[in-house]
Structure 1
């Protein structure tokens, strides 16, 4: 017992509730919570249930959530992403009305959940190219609509060139100078996003996202991407995924010494859950070891589907 207490005294890295952000999927097409088959224990929630989920998260002591929406209507332009009464805008409004400042509400800013083709921007269907600059205008509209609904922070994830600057300008022009931007600055073209695409119904109808997400082999490029986002006004920078990119998290934190987030993504979650279900891993120990490794690498914020599990463990 004494040795255990001494071990705790000299522990170099600690994990706390303040580090965690819980994702929530809000689906406009369902009437009751539905478990995501590839992510056991994670659910999509209808608008009518999202406040109950947010309350449970807050009661566990988790400080923040990040919202992802699935609309009832999709088109090539993602027009259901920025309306006043669209799914995320309504979810934010309901959560803030019930919980106020008790919970920090972050919103993902991207088009893939809202487009019929599943890509993160406007598409030229003749060339099958993602049109960067026309997409920036839409991202700005989404960010402003989220801020008007009451979001505390926006998180652009589409990896479009200039997206942080475009969103910062759009927010400032509408009087939202104090809304921070957490940019997915180093988002890799990863195989570990598979279960998320089921949850967000955001699979793409042609090609892939390698033209605008990063090559997993590149680390210097990640720092160049972060440099651009910092220069454009990002307040927090994110690395995604986390466990296969701990070296990137470390390099980013060491180089910039600014608030750094890491996204412990759906595939990383699913692997541990599947192995634990088969009796191959001790689930609680594997969760803790994974999250502490992300923190040790330099992350100040960990977005993770394990947030609720970890909160119960930490308590």
Structure 2
């Protein structure tokens, strides 16, 4: 897949994942559980505010020229295909169960995700920071994280990054960080392997998003389930059985509305399901034959003139790969 994304042989990327790191580790999306009581929206807004501090200093230099590539502007949301038929989640669960009966693919620790996050600053245009992150675990319980600046929507074009806390353009495929972490073991979610039945997975995900002091036995809300799914997929590449269990949970929440078919930012076809909350619309994209999560998109539904954000601008997007 790396070769498909970047048009290069995957071998150099494999060497980057296994070679010893020559630069200090950066505190970027470490494999840690969420802080108690925080929602994904709260974490994301906090991160955008931190980005805004450095963008206010350097953004004029980055965006000042008339020939600035449009790739750095706030992306538009995914578009539902005209006249495509929405597929209820209850229908997709049957397909996911059938795919799971074959037993493959299997659960794998680690992740491969392409993400776009929106950086905002007072009185400045928003900018998009695209990255690809690959985490691979090894037999000795160490794991390696590789973060690369790239945007497969615009192959070969310069990419905006905030590496070093100063927004600037780098070449497509620029290595932001390559870090090898020491052995790590944990029996707590999301580091512990996720179960493959809906009931057990619900309990697992509840522990991911609710603090230990929260003794509530209420079912996960749709927002909580989506938050927990992001945390899960940032740690694990799900197998067919785990994906099927997750689809059953999506169907049970009742808060995801089917809207039709979309083509995601990696060119993959999927069924889209929407959850509307105050100021934000979240779109979940599922693989049509297996129900595996392809991506998740957060879009503003209200204008925020202070940050130059309009309804319809994408706050963040993640596309998971196998």
TM-score interval (norm. to shorter): under 0.3
Q: TM-score, normalised by structure 2?
A: 0.27
Q: TM-score, normalised by structure 1?
A: 0.28
Q: 1 or 2 for the larger relative contact order (CA 8 Å, sep ≥6)?
A: 2
